[in-house]
Structure 1
Amino acid sequence: MPAHSVGKSLRPRSRQIAVAIIGLDAAVAQKTREHLYASSWAFGKLVVRDLGDIRKDTRDFIIPLLRELYAAGITPVLLGGNNALFAAQYLAFAELNRQVSLLQIDRCIGLNPHQEGSDVLDAAVYRPGRKQYHVAHLGAQQHLVDPAVWDFFDAHGFEAVRLGQARADVTQLEPLLRDADLVGLDISAINHNEAPARNGFHPSGFSLQEASQLAYYAGNSDKLSSFGLFGLNPAAGTTAETELTAAAYAQLVWYFLQGYSLRVGDFPATTKGLLEYIVDLQGFDRLTFWRSPRSNRWWVQVHDGKYQGEARHRLVPCAYQDYLLASNEQTLPDRLLLAMRRYTNAG
């Protein structure tokens, strides 16, 4: 490999690892590495290590490993096959007693709306005791989803952005990704022609370019601390189709790393260094918007007296257009109205 390649840049350079690549499926991970390692390194001084493949592909084995990485401030990039392991990705946060916002990108929503079963999101919404703080979903195709799932999401204040709405303007999804602690992306969310080695015959989806933009947004978010790829099944495609899908995996990882390397450290654990904008909005008393001068990103603050949950969730990511809508037209977009309902006691 040439000196400028990713493979040549994974040598140990620091004890302070930022990102760790881990294979949850050895065959999938090896194919992905072949394409990722040959690509160009464009991530500056970002310290990335490949920790190899796990020895056992079970939740009980994976969760303690991820817990240790999360506790150490290391962001894992998971190369998986079966998307059932997305549950291990988010349940590891429970070991740290943290409330998390999880986001899944998939063509369907893996949730039983009636009772806990074996679907991938069931453990997030039915887990006894402390629930996940928020669940969001991108890219679901209406003809593949049980209508009761939409009702379940509405009743629990969860967010679901359907494929057509998501593709209308991918840039509008950035605040939603910035609100997530972890992202799991199933390759079946991408159209079949660009990622054919997966289960099922479903032609529609995001383009790989659009999915790469989502991966970049995920990496660029200071809040996000885990990124997983799932769904590649070498047995479901020809050799050429498997190589093409593995190359798609590698491209998604590359753009995640690029986004990560350009983080500016403006996650608002506090409002220090942020610029304040007050809007008098009927029905909400006053709303406080905050803007980071470093990244020009925006947040809206949940009223302190009504806030529920960990302090780090107190500021909800939004866009400049949301501030203009509130200040000029005295209204809020549906996403922020849902957030106010979810994060406060107000209806």
Structure 2
Amino acid sequence: MDFSFLSPVPDTVLAHNELLSLQALGKKIKIHSEQNGIPDLQGVKIAIIGVLENRNDVNYIGETFQLNEIRKAFYGLFPGGWHVSIADLGDIHKGETVNDTYFALKESIISLIKADIIPVILGGSQDLTYANYRAYDNLVPMVNIVNVDGKFNLGDSSKPIKNNSFVGKIILDKPYNLFNYATVGYQTYFNPQEEIDLMESLYFEYYRLGEISNNITLAEPVMRDANIVSVDMSSIKSSDVSLKQKYSPNGFDGKEICAITRYAGISNKVSSFGIYEYKSSKNDEVTAMLIAQMIWYFVEGVNYRVNDDDFSNENNFQKFITLTESEELVFYKSNKTGRWWIEIPFLSNVNNKLKRHTLLPCMHQDYVDACNNKVPDRWYKAIQKNSV
């Protein structure tokens, strides 16, 4: 594995770690230090990588940042009754160009995923999600991305990549590997109507902030189908973060964002997870602690993953068939976890990009709706995407 791009965790953080309780996370995780180098990753399930890159932020004016406060906050937390092993591999510093940083991040992610380790990326600007996506070019045939964000970030893909336009690049740059893009927590007034129309025409999914706040469980099936989850810190309401991090009075609160990151962790499919747009500032314990808790809940989710999507054995699930006016819909419910899926019929006359995607995660409510003659929106969009 090539981790030559990674710098060790700073000594100031390690000195702080020495003072912690023996039960704290900082004493239980493997840390890349100047003294000991990259730790042995045998048995490690989750690896934290910092990326000190923010030059493609549209508001970039030359400021630098560091992730020491997040590390101190995370190290100081106590683990749950976990069996997963965690490593902190240190930071990728800015390359000569932003593309150099992208390359370093991409190679590091490839090495980790091939070793069956989930990278948790702590970043500057959210355009780093593009490098995360590119890491999958030779790993999986089609990629699903979930963006927890108030904005879609489609932008003008003919212009250079920025943190508010990276999704346009993901959609239009070759190789075309994107199957589904879903935004959780979008706020209409932050998105031009053209972008909303484009999301609709591409059959991508988007869930409004109010929808998710009213029923946080709506995020679970979306996360269950994601390979990459990218969280923008500006999606969190300003009262829950520090002065420099404040963006909007409306957004997720701390409890909601932690529930969402736990759903990301519990998904068997999520193989990389990133938290972006962190703005470090002096005397900012709040944002660093919130990010530490978001990581904690993600790890907690990974720890409780259950392999409940094996549908080859009939003892593992119950099958339900419903008839609506236009369709016969087939649902599956896991006997282990009670989670639901809906079958996407294989369209033999068209180019089916995703034979393995014939089962789509859904909720019990979708089954109830189908019984009442209402076809689930996710099912419809997946059918349309498979028909393109």
- What is the TM-score normalised by the length of structure 2? 0.81
Shifted more, 89-98 versus 243-252: the winner is: 89-98
Match among 218, 221, 239 for residue 264 of structure 2: 218
Shifted more, 150-159 versus 117-126: the winner is: 117-126
Determine helix, strand or coil for the equivalent of 1:150. helix
Which residue is equivalent to 2:288? Answer: 246
Which residue is equivalent to 1:334? Answer: 377
Which residue is equivalent to 1:19? Answer: 46
Match among 148, 153, 178 for residue 110 of structure 1: 153
1:133 equivalent to 2:176? Answer no
Opposite residue 94 of structure 1, the aligned amino acid is D
Opposite residue 19 of structure 1, the aligned amino acid is I
1:31 equivalent to 2:41? Answer no
Contact (CA 8 Å) 1:28, 1:232: kept in 2 or not?
no
How far the C-alpha of 1:114 sits from its partner, in A, is: 6.8
Determine helix, strand or coil for the equivalent of 1:257. helix
Which residue is equivalent to 2:135? Answer: 92
Identity among equivalent positions (%) equals 28
Opposite residue 40 of structure 1, the aligned amino acid is F
Match among 120, 123, 126 for residue 83 of structure 1: 126
Give ranges in structure 2 of 5+ residues lacking alignment.
Answer: 1-19, 31-38, 54-64, 96-100
**How far apart in 2 are the matches of 1:28 and 1:277?**
52
**How far apart in 1 are the matches of 2:116 and 2:362?**
25
Contact (CA 8 Å) 2:324, 2:374: kept in 1 or not?
yes
Which residue is equivalent to 2:344? Answer: 302
**How far apart in 2 are the matches of 1:21 and 1:146?**
34
Determine helix, strand or coil for the equivalent of 1:276. strand
How far the C-alpha of 1:112 sits from its partner, in A, is: 1.9
How far the C-alpha of 1:9 sits from its partner, in A, is: 1.6
Opposite residue 223 of structure 1, the aligned amino acid is K
Q: Over aligned residue pairs, what C-alpha RMSD do you find?
A: 2.3
**How far apart in 1 are the matches of 2:103 and 2:166?**
15
Contact (CA 8 Å) 2:223, 2:263: kept in 1 or not?
yes
Contact (CA 8 Å) 1:198, 1:232: kept in 2 or not?
no
**How far apart in 2 are the matches of 1:114 and 1:181?**
23
How far the C-alpha of 1:62 sits from its partner, in A, is: 1.1
Shifted more, 148-157 versus 89-98: the winner is: 89-98
**Structure 1 residues 295, 97: CA separation in 2 closer, same or farther (over 3 Å shift)?**
closer
Which residue is equivalent to 1:258? Answer: 300
**How far apart in 2 are the matches of 1:227 and 1:84?**
14
Shifted more, 188-197 versus 177-186: the winner is: 188-197
**Structure 1 residues 24, 207: CA separation in 2 closer, same or farther (over 3 Å shift)?**
same
Q: How many residues align?
A: 339
Determine helix, strand or coil for the equivalent of 1:83. coil
Q: Deviations over 1:250-287 (max 9, x none)?
A: 01000101111111122447566332222233322x32
Determine helix, strand or coil for the equivalent of 1:263. coil
Determine helix, strand or coil for the equivalent of 2:261. helix
1:8 equivalent to 2:27? Answer yes
How far the C-alpha of 1:200 sits from its partner, in A, is: 6.6
Contact (CA 8 Å) 1:103, 1:135: kept in 2 or not?
yes
**Structure 1 residues 136, 116: CA separation in 2 closer, same or farther (over 3 Å shift)?**
farther
How far the C-alpha of 1:69 sits from its partner, in A, is: 1.4
How far the C-alpha of 1:113 sits from its partner, in A, is: 5.6
Q: Deviations over 1:289-332 (max 9, x none)?
A: 11111111011111123582233322110011111221x21222
Opposite residue 335 of structure 2, the aligned amino acid is P
Q: How does 1:169-318 map to 2 (within 5 A)?
A: 169-196=215-242, 198=244, 201-234=247-280, 237=281, 239-240=282-283, 242-268=284-310, 273-284=316-327, 286-306=328-348, 308-318=352-362
Opposite residue 117 of structure 2, the aligned amino acid is I
**How far apart in 1 are the matches of 2:107 and 2:243?**
30
**How far apart in 2 are the matches of 1:115 and 1:91?**
18
How far the C-alpha of 1:195 sits from its partner, in A, is: 1.7
**How far apart in 1 are the matches of 2:25 and 2:246?**
32
**How far apart in 1 are the matches of 2:273 and 2:72?**
19
Q: Deviations over 1:114-137 (max 9, x none)?
A: 746421212211112423011111
- What is the TM-score normalised by the length of structure 1? 0.90
Which residue is equivalent to 1:51? Answer: 89
Contact (CA 8 Å) 2:311, 2:317: kept in 1 or not?
no
Opposite residue 154 of structure 1, the aligned amino acid is E
**How far apart in 2 are the matches of 1:97 and 1:337?**
24
1:320 equivalent to 2:364? Answer yes
Give ranges in structure 1 of 5+ residues lacking alignment.
Answer: none
Determine helix, strand or coil for the equivalent of 2:48. strand
Opposite residue 122 of structure 2, the aligned amino acid is L
Task: Give the greater-gyration-radius structure (CA).
Answer: 2
Shifted more, 84-93 versus 248-257: the winner is: 84-93
Shifted more, 27-36 versus 224-233: the winner is: 27-36
Match among 65, 79, 97 for residue 41 of structure 1: 79
Contact (CA 8 Å) 1:268, 1:315: kept in 2 or not?
no
Contact (CA 8 Å) 2:145, 2:229: kept in 1 or not?
yes
